[in-house]
Amino acid sequence: MTKTKTDAERAVAWRHRSHSLVCDVIESWEHGTAVRCTAHPGFWDYNSMRLEGPDTGASVDELAAAADRCQNGLHHRRIEVEDEVAGGRLRPGFDLLGWRTTRLVWLALDDPPAGPEFEEVPVEATRELRLEWARSEGYELGEREYQRQAEAEEDVARRCGLRALVERDAGGRLVAYVTFLTDGETAEVEQAYVEPALRGRGTGGGLVAAAARAGGASETFIVADDEGDPKRLYQRLGFRPVWIQHEFTRRPSATLD
């Protein structure tokens, strides 16, 4: 693949591609694009507003008002800021509003390291582990809401062509998984989860590397909280930081949908 764009530009383009695969409403607003997946209004990543391009100078109050207007009918509000400078400028103001603010680092890998191979299964087979992860995040949801969110994830996975690799224990029970997607030229490792009791043994890193190899692409992205620990694992595997994205989310009080 001829790389005429910068690493960051390719990461942004890949993010836009994921929206185009899942979202049935893609509309312009003053400073970018608003997207919705009307089938799954509680799936924040696909019901969002992108603040695109260089910093426009838009204020926190202006953006919050735009979110109320463009995301009317949703229980949450979500703004993704593509310019690192703009995100840093706006973050303190959204903190004061009580929104959750996250600084995400996109990392890219060109040459996946060698390592063990893992079993591929349908994404649906990972549901129990995905629910275990979701419950550990502290959302105050009933079991029905957790199951509904898992079903939404699986529908989105079908739309994207998401794939999954897993690790089993001696009894055949799934204890870790990774999900990824690829178009043959670019890939993304989306989720990686290992049961807490089994962490620290290299399983997570092995799964991520195996997913990058299975994607068969010349460039593989993965996204991490820039203020968290997982990014250091990814960097040890050879991933390099290429883009900083800010997410500002006003969370619903009790449910995801």
Q: What pLDDT score does 4 carry?
A: 75
Question: pLDDT (tens digit, 9 = 90+) per residue, 209-227?
Answer: 999 999 999 999 999 999 9
CB 248, CB 68: distance < 8 Å? no
Token pair of 67 as six digits: 């979110």
Q: What pLDDT score does 256 carry?
A: 39
Torsion of the alpha carbons at 140, 230, 94 and 81, rounded to the nearest 10: -120
Compute the average pLDDT of residues 86-114: 97
For the entire predicted model, the pTM comes to 0.92
Which of 169-198 are b and which e, b meaning 16 or more Cβ less than 10 Å from the residue's Cβ?
eeeeebbbbbbbbbeeebbbbbbbbbbeee
Q: What is each CA distance from 200 to 108, 132, 196, 205, 212, in whole angstroms?
A: 23, 18, 9, 10, 20
- Reduced to 3 states (helix: H, G, I; strand: E, B; else coil), residue 12 is helix
Q: What pLDDT score does 91 carry?
A: 98
Compute the average pLDDT of residues 129-133: 92
Give the start-to-end residue ranges of the domains of the chain: 7-104+245-250, 119-217
> CB atoms < 10 A from the CB of 31, how many?
20
Q: What pLDDT score does 144 carry?
A: 85
Compute the average pLDDT of residues 150-158: 93
Residue type present at position 202? G
pLDDT value at 141 more than 90: no
The CATH code of the domain at 119-217 is: 3.40.630.30
Q: What pLDDT score does 6 carry?
A: 93
Residue 27 or residue 252, greater confidence: 27
Question: pLDDT (tens digit, 9 = 90+) per residue, 163-183?
Answer: 999 999 999 999 999 999 999
Residue type present at position 139? Y
pLDDT value at 42 more than 80: yes
Compute the average pLDDT of residues 238-255: 89
Beta strand 163-168 with 119-121: parallel, antiparallel or unpaired?
antiparallel
